Amino acid sequence: MSKPYVLGIDIGGTNTVFGIVNARGHIVASDSIKTKKHTNFDDYVAELHESVERLLEANDAKDKIQGIGIGAPNGNYYTGEILNAPNLPWGPRVQLAEKVSRAFGGIPVAVTNDANAAALGEMTYGAARGMKDFIMITLGTGVGSGIVINGQIVYGHDGFAGELGHVIVKRSNGRMCGCGRSGCLEAYCSATGVARTAREFLELRTEPSTLRNLNIDTITSKDVYDAAMGGDKLAKEIFNFTGTILGEALADFVAFSSPQAIILFGGLAKSGDLLLKPIQEALDKNVLNIFKGKAKLLLSELKESDAAVLGASALGWEAKYRADMASQIPMSVDTPEVKE
């Protein structure tokens, strides 16, 4: 029986979203489960398998899955593990690929982190189609990144290359970051960072703002966006502050890999010119002369609800390809001599 589909799985801190994807990048069907419902990883995999099987049966896709791709926080492409993910409850080392493959009857599984999965999805189905060199920046609760050079995701020797969200942008008196260091880009330019900036501005400055009508401890980036769209001057300055820091960092990233484009993805990227204008201005002002005007600043063309699954699905096809290639390698019948 033909097997024309792959399964794309995105493991987030709150929800795990999965979808059946065909060779044209169309999501046939998708569903989700709660990530933290089970503190035991084996129980989580059992629920994931049960939920996926129901989806496959409902869409006549049972026994038609060629590969499984998974995007996960701190997912390691080389080992198939999740290592030291702070927002997941399963301990410092999780044998993700091995256990998921076993649960699904040996279907090949490939793993990477969520930002790399987004970059794969963008390169396969989105704004980076046809590009061989680009940087994907995901602006959500944190700041993630996927770096593509010569058509290949940069993984580094250990599978963890490309942590641009943890480049330090403020060396002195920087904000504490969830990674344990201080001054990271993520602490300033994530959705969480925007909310932190709002609280700092409200405490240190005196000008009127509609944000002062809210509980300062529960302000979100969405609150800041709504206020800015309503003409609130302080809220606009918060976005200008955030975009300037990000644009300055992007200028440094351009010097590293000379990308054709920098593609922004995530909820915060939907802020439009509130964020894009200061990013572009800071990028243009700070980029090295030989790179001026060369790297386009683009928004993702993928639906946020679909991007993670599509990105993971691209990895699923790779898992199938790797498994096929491995099966074609002839095994030696010679027994090596053992020297005592």
Q: Where in the sequence of the chain do the CATH 3.30.420.40 domains occur?
A: 5-117+303-325, 131-299
The per-residue pLDDT for range 11-39, each reduced to its tens digit, is 988 899 999 999 888 999 999 999 989 99
Distance CA 270, CA 277 (A): 13
The per-residue pLDDT for range 149-158, each reduced to its tens digit, is 999 999 999 9
Residue 268 makes CB contacts below 8 A (sequence gap 6+) with 139, 140, 189, 190, 191, 194, 221, 275
Residue 333: pLDDT over 70: no
Distance CA 122, CA 140 (A): 17
Say which CATH topology domain 5-117+303-325 has: Nucleotidyltransferase; domain 5 (3.30.420)
Under 8 Å between Cβ of 18 and 4 = no
What single-letter amino acid sits at 255? A
Cβ atoms < 10 Å from Cβ of 2: 7
Distance CA 46, CA 99 (A): 10
Highest mean pLDDT among 60-74, 227-241, 301-315: 227-241
Q: Which long-range contacts (CB under 8 A, 24 or more apart) does 81-85 make?
A: 81/111, 82/11, 82/111
The closest alpha carbon to 85, from 113, 45, 116, 115, belongs to 113
Distance CA 301, CA 261 (A): 13
Distance CA 67, CA 322 (A): 10
188-221 b/e (C-beta count within 10 Å ≥ 16 → b): bbbbbbbbbbbeebbeeeeeebebeebeeeebeb
The closest alpha carbon to 68, from 255, 265, 320, 301, belongs to 320
Distance CA 175, CA 188 (A): 8
Q: What value does the mean pLDDT take over residues 154-166?
A: 94
The per-residue pLDDT for range 193-214, each reduced to its tens digit, is 999 999 999 999 999 999 999 9
Under 8 Å between Cβ of 76 and 111 = yes
Residue 235: pLDDT over 80: yes
pLDDT at 236: 98
- pLDDT band of residue 2 (cuts 50, 70, 90) is low
Under 8 Å between Cβ of 25 and 87 = no
Under 8 Å between Cβ of 274 and 266 = no
Tell me the whole-structure pTM to 2 decimals: 0.87
Under 8 Å between Cβ of 43 and 34 = no
Which sign does the torsion angle of CA 295, 298, 301, 306 carry?
A: positive
CATH class of 131-299: alpha beta
Residue owning tokens 């398998």: 49
The per-residue pLDDT for range 273-296, each reduced to its tens digit, is 999 999 999 999 999 999 999 999
Averaged pLDDT of the chain? 92
Distance CA 274, CA 76 (A): 35
Q: What value does the mean pLDDT take over residues 169-176?
A: 96
Residue 335: pLDDT over 50: no
The closest alpha carbon to 95, from 108, 79, 107, belongs to 79
Which sign does the torsion angle of CA 28, 34, 35, 39 carry?
A: negative
The per-residue pLDDT for range 107-140, each reduced to its tens digit, is 999 999 988 998 999 998 899 999 999 999 999 8
